[in-house]
Amino acid sequence: MSDPQRQRPIRSYVLRAGRMTPAQQRAFDQNWRRWGLEHSAGLLDCDAVFSGSSAALGSDAPAVLEIGFGMGHSLVAMAAAAPRTRFIGVEVHRPGVGKLLHGMEERGVDNIRVYCHDAVEVLTDCIADASLDTIQVFFPDPWHKKRHHKRRLIQPPFVDLLTRKLKSGGVLHLATDWENYAEQMMAVLEEAQGLVNACSPGQFAPRPEHRPLTKFEARGERLGHGVWDLIFRRT
């Protein structure tokens, strides 16, 4: 009999059937063995998987997990700017993973490891509690229709799971360009046990310099669209 706590009938994403470009497929085929992580391998030994990196990152290097990195442009940029930090990416869409691996190869970035798998299952089965310095979720699907709000990723059970994976003092950083979703995120995080707003209660944060400005976000800013960052710390 399956464990009812492991059942997840509502997913926050729909797997798209998009095809990889030849460059993405080549990058995936050539680099997955080097930079890819398998959910089936179980609990992640972060020190071991980064031991062969060009920067020889050890246990003292910060560990950052990004959920839903899309095509990976921002994640590659962040990793290139912080070569002494260990980045772990989680994305369910293979073309995005292929694009990330292509970007890593192109820019000579060696401090990212990536799962192509469901984030809830990766967190539950592969990431030890109190092991991460930062978790970041940037621009998750807003599921803007009210009847689809139940599909939104940022819900109390998921935030509780994220909180358990953070070290004491670790950072949970969310960002969205949908005001309604930003308000929901704020409500959920303010009520979560073990988290405190890094600004002040109910306050959104200015975009930190380390979060790259995406092309989509820059276009939105020119059109007057808002972007909301939420930064909370584990107490």
Active site residue ranges: 141
Taking the C-alpha atoms of residue 57 and residue 44, their distance in angstroms, rounded to an integer, is 15
Task: Quickly tell me which residue has 């984030």 as its tokens.
Answer: 119
Phi, psi of 45 (to 5 degrees): -95, 90
Taking the C-alpha atoms of residue 124 and residue 117, their distance in angstroms, rounded to an integer, is 12
Taking the C-alpha atoms of residue 139 and residue 13, their distance in angstroms, rounded to an integer, is 13
Cα separations (Å) of 116 from 48, 61, 91? 19, 23, 5
